[in-house]
Amino acid sequence: MPFREKTAWIAVVSMTLIYANYFWGILSMPHGGSNLSGLLGTVIALVVVQVTLTIVAAIFSPTDAKAPRDEREQLIGLRASRVAYSGLATGVACACFFGAINPPVVFNANSLLFILVTTEIMRCSCLIIQYRRGA
């Protein structure tokens, strides 16, 4: 498994678990309250988990981690970014549409964060799929 595929797996799993915990906490709060400390803790946990696991993956395959991206890997990254951008543009357009009904600011902020996280998971998932297919 290439190093960049490992980092994509790290990103997908860590973001899914950590942000699922955050959004579950937001949904269980009465009246859609603000949870700034929870968001800060979520971001710190995500950074610590991803950096630690990426370092561990680099330790186990140092030559693969230091290798520059070849043409195939650049193409895989561009394809995955194109798919994620389509999802991001669609999600933001939907958020703008629902923003017209004047929901609370906390709802708007969390919905945009949800869209951003979802599209990043989508991008990393596309990377994994393309690496698996050998694109």
* pLDDT at residue number 135: 59
pLDDT digits (tens, 9 = 90+) for 29-44: 776 556 778 889 999 9
Q: Is the pLDDT of residue 124 over 80?
A: yes
User: Cα–Cα distance between 114 and 88 in angstroms, integer?
Assistant: 10
pLDDT band at residue 83 under the 50/70/90 scheme: very high
Computed over every residue of the chain, the mean pLDDT equals: 90
Q: Is the pLDDT of residue 64 over 90?
A: no
Q: What is the mean pLDDT of residues 12-18?
A: 97
Q: What is the pLDDT of residue 2?
A: 83
Q: Which residues contact 68 (CB under 8 A, 6 or more apart)?
A: none
Burial of 13 by CB count in 10 Å (0-12 exposed, 13-18 middle, 19+ buried)?
A: middle
